[in-house]
Amino acid sequence: MGFVTESLPAVSRTAIGVAALRAYESRRPDRLFDDPYAAAFFEAGRSALPGTSPEGPQAGLGAMFYPQVVIRTRFYDDYLLGAGCAQVVLLAAGLDTRAFRLAWPDGTRLFELDLPEVLAFKDEVLGRHGAEPACARVVVPADLREDWAAALREAGFDPAVPTAWLAEGLLMYLTPEEAERLLTTVGELAAPGSRIAFEHRPGTPPGSLIARAKAAAGGKHVTDLWRGGLGGRAPQWLAAHGWEPSTVTRAELAAAYGRPSDDDATAGGFVTAVR
């Protein structure tokens, strides 16, 4: 009997819907990335998200988040490969398949942290499809609200090595205090030359993605999980804690990727920072 997806935490189930959107993008002739396992994740977990389909973004949240998910995925692909770090850490890795689908330089070690049940579901699906990582992949079952740093070190992470950190789709689900605690721990583990990236939203005007999602019918099962993270102060917080941050809007990236922008030019984007 396969994995019971209903046992996944509510936040983790959203990754199945995101996988459906990645699967749709991967079939486009003008795709911005190719995720060969996204459809498999959705098929294995679709019972947890009835009404979602990888055949195309549906009305409601799927269609609303599709442009954001696609641009985010491509941006983080480029960020990780361009970071020049031999050590990579994916915080709340979820159903991320970058260890398998990106062309990593020789010697790259990639650590995936997430809850045990999430990683078990992920590895079951990948195993059924004979997936082989393109780098040294290390799975680290851990709760990011607890002492995950110890688990990461025990798995072989070297804090003396510059590391590319990624917190994709994570901070929004944390309270400001939880987000600060997480990033403080990252800073304690980050050698000089390390990098970090995550979503940054300086504001939520009426037409922004966040505002539209909160107003959408049937969206409460997702938006009620949001806790705000650092809000709009991420660059200032990073600068005050030993990082050199920079930001880019999703509208700027959409133009660079040849895709229409779905959001106010000032409302959403990403922050990256160097230690």
Q: What is the mean pLDDT of residues 65-85?
A: 95
**Which of the residue ranges 96-100, 167-171, 196-200, 225-229 would you say has the lowest mean pLDDT?**
225-229
Residue 265 scores a pLDDT above 80:
no
**In this structure, what is the dihedral angle of CA atoms 54, 57, 59, 64, given to the nearest 10 degrees?**
130
Contact predicate 212/64, CB 8 Å: yes
**Which of the residue ranges 7-16, 95-104, 135-144, 195-204 would you say has the lowest mean pLDDT?**
7-16
**Which of the residue ranges 94-98, 126-130, 222-226 would you say has the lowest mean pLDDT?**
222-226
Give bridge partners of residue 246 from the DSSP assignment: 272
pLDDT at 229: 83
Closest by alpha carbon to 74, among 139, 26, 123? 26
- Average pLDDT of the residues of the chain: 86
Q: CA-CA distance, 237 to 183, in Å (whole number)?
A: 10
Angle at 145 between CA 65 and CA 84, to 5 degrees: 65
What are the C-alpha distances in Å from 66 to residues 23, 59, 71, 139, 197?
A: 11, 11, 9, 28, 20
pLDDT at 4: 46
pLDDT at 130: 96
pLDDT at 268: 81
pLDDT at 53: 52
Angle at 152 between CA 124 and CA 126, to 5 degrees: 15
What ranges in 203-249 are assigned the alpha helix state H?
A: 209-215, 220-223, 234-239
Residue 97 scores a pLDDT above 50:
yes
Q: What is the mean pLDDT of residues 93-121?
A: 96
pTM: 0.88
Contact predicate 173/167, CB 8 Å: no
Q: CA-CA distance, 139 to 113, in Å (whole number)?
A: 6
| 173 vs 77: which has the higher pLDDT | 77
Residue 48 scores a pLDDT above 80:
no
Instruction: State percent of the chain over pLDDT 90.
Output: 65
pLDDT class of 241 with cuts at 50, 70, 90: very high
Contact predicate 112/131, CB 8 Å: no
pLDDT at 57: 55
Look up residue 258 and give its two tokens: 């040849």
Q: CA-CA distance, 144 to 12, in Å (whole number)?
A: 13
Q: CA-CA distance, 22 to 73, in Å (whole number)?
A: 8
pLDDT class of 260 with cuts at 50, 70, 90: confident
Inter-axis angle of helices 61-82 and 10-26, to 10 degrees?
Answer: 80
pLDDT class of 56 with cuts at 50, 70, 90: low
Q: CA-CA distance, 111 to 100, in Å (whole number)?
A: 13
| 81 vs 67: which has the higher pLDDT | 81
> Going from the N-terminus, what domains does the chain have, and what CATH number goes with each?
62-274 (3.40.50.150)
Residue 185 scores a pLDDT above 90:
yes
Name residues whose C-beta falls within 8 Å of residue 60's C-beta, 6 or more positions apart in sequence.
216, 217, 218, 219
- The helix/strand/coil state of 186 is helix
Closest by alpha carbon to 40, among 23, 15, 65? 23
**Which of the residue ranges 10-14, 17-21, 65-69, 223-227 would you say has the lowest mean pLDDT?**
223-227
Termini Cα distance of the chain: 46
Residue 7 scores a pLDDT above 70:
no
